[in-house]
Amino acid sequence: QKEVEQDPGPLSVPEGAIVSLNCTYSNSAFQYFMWYRQYSRKGPELLMYTYSSGNKEDGRFTAQVDKSSKYISLFIRDSQPSDSATYLCAIQSGYGQNFVFGPGTRLSVLP
Amino acid sequence: GAGVSQTPSNKVTEKGKYVELRCDPISGHTALYWYRQSLGQGPEFLIYFQGTGAADDSGLPNDRFFAVRPEGSVSTLKIQRTERGDSAVYLCASSLSPDNEQFFGPGTRLTVL
């Protein structure tokens, strides 16, 4: 079993839709959870960062962590064509430890 | 200010050759990371520097891969006797400290023919 699993998509939605992206992980030692967005031929950029179970909201983005189920989600409200990108979850076991990335979900928001 | 820069943006080489990939981190960032990203995959950790020293090199796949950061700023990833399986995008990231956000460069796309 891979450490971090993610549905690779592609996922296509109409503009304005609510998007749900998910990751599962296997190691209960993971403590820090991140979502990155990666546009084609660019490096990933951090969207959300959290270290506890529950929800964290930032504008149209909400990150949700359920440590008991080892499940994390990213919700995008009122999706825009500019949200079309690959979304990567990344998990870190502790301070200074390396990140483990999921394979990414490719999202297309159609105008 | 300037972000993380990587050179070259693209590198095509022949099997068995030696390559060097350069990373210029954001000024003042003490932590520097190298990742490798294959098509359709997430970045895979290779090595992490804190200052000049490699704090964690557990992700380097074998002894053909080596990285240095002699003055605690610019880093070079070196690959000897390249193989076709080394073809990937090599990403560099830097952060103020290990518990801060990592900022990624655009990557170097390496193609081994």
Whether B56 and A98 lie within 8 Å, measured CB to CB? yes
Q: Is the pLDDT of residue A103 over 90?
A: yes
Backbone conformation region of residue A77, classed left if phi is above 0, alpha if psi is from -120 to 50, else beta: beta
Q: Which two tokens stand for residue B101?
A: 């956000």
The answer to whether A98 contacts B48, with C-beta atoms less than 8 Å apart, is yes
**B59 chain-A contacts, CB cut-off 8 A:** 98
Specify the pLDDT at position B59: 93
Q: What is the pLDDT of residues A52-96, one digit of tens each?
A: 888 999 999 999 999 999 999 999 999 999 999 999 999 987 766
- CA-closest candidate to residue A22, choices A40, A3, A9: A9
Average pLDDT over every residue of A20-26? 94
Q: What is the dihedral of CA B17, B88, A26, A64, to 10 degrees?
A: 150
The pLDDT, as a whole number, for residue A82 is 97
> How do residues B40-90 score in pLDDT, each as one tens digit?
899 999 999 999 999 899 999 999 999 999 999 999 999 999 999 999 999
**Nearest CB to B98: which of A4, A41, A95?**
A95
Instruction: Read off the pLDDT band of A99 (50, 70, 90).
Output: confident
pLDDT above 80 for A48 = yes
User: Cβ of B41 and A103 within 8 Å?
Assistant: yes
Q: Do A98 and B102 touch (CB under 8 A)?
A: no
CA distance B28 to B80: 30
Which B residues 79-98 touch A at CB under 8 Å? 91, 93, 98
Please report the pLDDT score of residue A95 as a whole number: 65
Tokens describing residue A50: 């959290």
- In angstroms, rounded to a whole number, what is the distance separating the alpha carbons of residues A90 and A92? 7
Alpha-carbon distance A79 to nearest alpha carbon in chain B (angstroms): 23
* Distance to chain A for B43, nearest Cα, Å: 6
Tell which wins on pLDDT, A97 or A30: A30
Nearest CB to A96: which of B35, B98, B107?
B98
Within 17-76 of B, beta carbons closer than 8 Å to A belong to 33, 35, 40-45, 48, 50, 55-56, 58-59
Q: Residue A56's pLDDT is what?
A: 92
The whole-number pLDDT of residue B55 equals 87
Kindly list the residues from chain B whose CB atom is less than 8 angstroms away from the CB atom of residue A96: 48, 50, 55-56, 98-99
**pLDDT at residue A45 greater than cutoff 70:** yes
For residue B6 the two structure tokens come to: 């990587």
CA A46 → CA A22, A36, A38, A98, B102, distances in Å?
16, 4, 9, 15, 8
Average pLDDT of span B8-21: 97
Q: Is the dihedral of CA A67, A68, A70, A71 positive or negative?
A: negative
